[in-house]
A and B are shown apart, each in its own frame.
Chain A
Amino acid sequence: GDSVTQMEGPVTLSEEAFLTINCTYTATGYPSLFWYVQYPGEGLQLLLKATKADDKGSNKGFEATYRKETTSFHLEKGSVQVSDSAVYFCALQPTGNTPLVFGKGTRLSVIA
Chain B
Amino acid sequence: GAGVSQSPSNKVTEKGKDVELRCDPISGHTALYWYRQRLGQGLEFLIYFQGNSAPDKSGLPSDRFSAERTGESVSTLTIQRTQQEDSAVYLCASSFSNYGYTFGSGTRLTVV
Contact = CB atoms under 8 A, between A and B. Distances in A.
Interface of A: 32, 34, 36, 42-46, 49, 51, 89, 93, 96-105
Contacts of B35: 102
Contacts of A96: 97-98
B65 interface: no
Nearest to A45: B103
Contact of A44 (B48, B56, B103): B103
Given A102-B42, A102-B43, A104-B41, A97 B97 contact: yes
Contacts, number: 50
B105 interface: yes
Nearest to B49: A97
Contacts of A97: 30-31, 50, 95, 97-98
Interface in B72-91: 91
A99 B33 CA distance: 7
B35 to A, nearest CB: 8
22 contacts: A43-B104, A43-B105, A43-B106, A44-B43, A44-B91, A45-B103, A46-B102, A49-B100, A51-B98, A89-B42, A93-B98, A96-B97, A96-B98, A97-B31, A97-B95, A98-B48, A99-B33, A100-B43, A102-B35, A102-B43, A104-B41, A105-B41
Given A32-B98, A99-B33, 9 more contacts: A34-B100, A43-B105, A44-B91, A44-B93, A49-B100, A97-B31, A99-B59, A100-B45, A103-B42
A3 B26 CA distance: 28
